Amino acid sequence: MENVYQTIKRDKQIWKFCFYGLLKNLKFFEPYLLIYLLGMGMSFFKIGILYAIREIVTYIFEIPSGIFADNYGKKKELMTCFAFYIISFIFFFIGTDIYILILAMIFFGLGEAFRSGTHKAMIYSYLEQKNWFEYKTFVYGRTRSFSLIGSSISAFISIIFILNVPSTRWIFLICIVPYILDFLLISSYPATLDERRESELSFKNFFEASIRHIKSIASNKLLEKILISSSLYDGIFKTIKDYIQPILKATIIAVTVSSLQGINADSKVKIYLGVIYGIFYIFSSVASKNVYRLNRVFDSGKWMSIFFDIMAILSIALFIAIKNNVTIIVIAIFFLLYILKDARRPLFVDVCGDYMNKTERATVLSVDSQLRALFTIIFAPVFGFIADNYSLEVLFLIIGVFIIIANRFLYISKDRLEEV
């Protein structure tokens, strides 16, 4: 088995999969997006609406994009998604009001819809071609670790950019460069991974085909439970992950008065946020790369449920830490949340891979993304409203209690799945 792991590590296409994720995650704006929008005078609720618009677009186009990939070619779909991202970055760059930002979110949502699920399906196909399918947790954990390394590199480099560009909006323009490189990388993938199947399916009957696929997945109770657990977890995390920015902005300035002399308060915030995000992603990468080792103790499904319960406990701990203004604990909790999120994803890919039809992989994984988008559409404005009208600490208390209740209905383990 160890020889197989070494062979996988040396494989040229596996390296391409890895660098795809690294380039994709060079989002230099990520450590600053929320405070950038808040700085434009927006409330948490309005920002939640922007996020919801992005997710609505993703939700609408998720299933059609998956069917498009299965029927017309996965390479073409991924190359199209990067074109959408680039258009989105241009709108973010020129955005001076909420209407232009809405356009930016629409094109970003299209990029997300045309990307999600497709690359994972290509990895599945390649592993089958090489007779490595049983090592999917190892492979996906490895490729995802490179994505997280990309996020870490992005966070550290963003500090240099943010301190030297005329304004924050220039960061979006810089992001176009790695996305062009990823476009070219995808074009170099072998034709065998395109997997275009001749079909009479057209855009006119995409909707009917989408309903048919959803019904097929819904009839599989095992897969349905796994997808809901995954998308609910990711939807919550996606909504709250950047709330660390305003929390830290209020405290970083106060606790760093004596450090970084000669640098203004705004620059201090940007430096510390870049460093914190960079460290988060370094350790998340290590967790994603090594999470397959946990299967020696429990199966992947059981770990998914355990991680969900831990997320609930950490959310309640955030309530206490923010209420008592213990900044170091807030940072530590977000650190753990990021690690759990990126370690949980390979576990989902492992469990999901065992319960879906190989001919519907891109579609099934797009359903996961669509459900995540649906939950985010709901959570983003609701969480923003609670944060605006009550407080961030109350928001995290509510989230923790909600997760504890929800996970009782979604608890996953191999034995319980086989009983369904």
262-283 per-position pLDDT tens digit: 566 677 788 888 988 898 888 8
Ranking 148-152, 337-341, 413-417 by mean pLDDT, the lowest is 413-417
148's CB contacts (< 8 A; 6+ apart) are 25, 281, 282, 284, 285, 288, 342
Ranking 106-115, 122-131, 134-143, 166-175 by mean pLDDT, the lowest is 134-143
Delineate the domains of the chain, giving CATH numbers in brackets: 2-189+208-419 (1.20.1250.20)
Give the mean pLDDT of 339-344: 86
Pick the residue with more confidence: 48 or 113?
48
Answer yes or no: is pLDDT of 45 > 80: yes
281's CB contacts (< 8 A; 6+ apart) are 148, 149, 151, 152, 154, 155, 338
At residue 413, the 3 state secondary structure works out as coil
Asked if 19 contacts 146 with a C-beta cutoff of 8 angstroms, the reply is yes
42's CB contacts (< 8 A; 6+ apart) are 50, 98
pLDDT winner (highest mean) among 35-44, 281-290, 309-318? 309-318
**Cα 256–chain centre separation:** 31
Please, what is the end-to-end C-alpha distance for the chain in angstroms? 32
Nearest alpha carbon to residue 117 among 79, 88, 74, 86: 74
- When pLDDT is cut at 50, 70 and 90, the band that residue 328 belongs to is confident
On average, the pLDDT of the chain sits at 82
332's CB contacts (< 8 A; 6+ apart) are none
Q: Look up residue 10 and give its two tokens.
A: 């040396």
What does the DSSP 8-state code read for residue 356? S
50-89 per-position pLDDT tens digit: 999 998 998 888 767 767 776 778 888 889 899 999 999 9
Answer yes or no: is pLDDT of 412 > 80: no
pLDDT at 154: 92
Q: Where are the alpha helices (DSSP H) in 165-220?
A: 170-174, 176-187, 206-218
Q: Look up residue 361 and give its two tokens.
A: 């992989």
CA pseudo-torsion sign 234, 43, 38, 392: negative
Ranking 233-247, 327-341, 362-376 by mean pLDDT, the lowest is 362-376
Answer yes or no: is pLDDT of 352 > 80: no
Contacts 24+ apart (CB under 8 A), 331-334: 331/244, 331/248, 331/276, 334/241, 334/244, 334/280
Residue 318's region, left for phi above 0, alpha for psi from -120 to 50, else beta, is: alpha
Contacts 24+ apart (CB under 8 A), 201-204: 201/67, 201/71, 203/64
Distances 278 to 64, 147, 246, 342 between C-alpha atoms, Å? 35, 12, 17, 14
Pick the residue with more confidence: 218 or 376?
376
What residue type is 18 in one-letter code? Answer: C
Nearest alpha carbon to residue 155 among 241, 270, 315: 270
What does the alpha-carbon distance between residue 95 and residue 173 come to, in Å, rounded to a whole number?
Answer: 12
Dmax (CA) for the chain in angstroms is 68
- When pLDDT is cut at 50, 70 and 90, the band that residue 126 belongs to is confident
Q: Look up residue 109 and give its two tokens.
A: 């949502």
pLDDT at 419: 47
What does the alpha-carbon distance between residue 135 and residue 119 come to, in Å, rounded to a whole number?
Answer: 17
7-30 per-position pLDDT tens digit: 888 889 999 999 998 999 999 998
What does the alpha-carbon distance between residue 273 and residue 260 come to, in Å, rounded to a whole number?
Answer: 14
Asked if 18 contacts 123 with a C-beta cutoff of 8 angstroms, the reply is no
Nearest alpha carbon to residue 154 among 307, 260, 275: 275
Asked if 122 contacts 193 with a C-beta cutoff of 8 angstroms, the reply is yes
Answer yes or no: is pLDDT of 146 > 80: yes
